[in-house]
Amino acid sequence: MARFSYKQVIVVRNDLAMSCGKMVVQAAHASVIAVLEAEKRPEWKRWLDAWLKEGQKKVAVRVESEKELLDKYREAVKLGLPVSLVRDAGLTELPPGTLTAIAVGPGPEELVDRVTGRLKLV
C-alpha cells in the first residue's frame, strides 16, 4: 500500500442539497484554485511538487453549514496552508455568491488533518 505524506482535502457544504454534478464541479473549482494558490509561495510550491509526485491524494468531506465551512477556511489560513474558497456564480442551482466549497492543501498530511481530520466523508 502506498504511503502518502501530502494530500488535499476538499470540503463541500452538505446543507445546500446540491445535485451530484453541481457538487463535483464545486469541488473541482476548489481543488484547482488551491493548487494555483500553492504555486505562489516557495514552501507551498515544495508541497505541491511533492504532492504531484506522490500521485495527488485527495479526500472529499462535508460540513453542514456556511459557518462551519468558513471556520475550516480560517483554520487552514491560520495554520499557513494553501486554501481556496469557492463562491458560486449563480447560473444554475444556487443564488450568486453562495459559498459552496473549500480545498485545504496540498500540504503535509498531518497539518491538513488538523483542519479536516474529523469531518465526515462525502
Q: 1 pLDDT exceeds 80?
A: no
Integer angstrom CA distances of residue 99 from 85, 96, 102, 115: 7, 9, 9, 18
Calpha distance 65→50 (Å, rounded): 32
Q: Give residue 83's domain range.
A: 6-121
Q: What is the pLDDT of residues 21-47, one digit of tens each?
A: 999 999 999 999 999 999 999 999 999
The mean pLDDT of the chain is 97
What is the tally of structural domains in the chain? 1
Query: Per the confidence metrics, is the pTM higher than 0.85?
Result: yes
Q: DSSP letters of the chain?
A: ----SEEEEEEEESTT---HHHHHHHHHHHHHHHHHHHTTSHHHHHHHHHHHHHT--EEEEEESSHHHHHHHHHHHHHTT--EEEEE---SSSS-TT-EEEEEEEEEEHHHHHHHHTTSEE-
Answer yes or no: are the C-beta atoms of 5 and 105 closer than 8 Å.
Answer: no
* pLDDT for 82 beyond 90: yes
We report the CATH number of the domain holding residue 22 as 3.40.1490.10
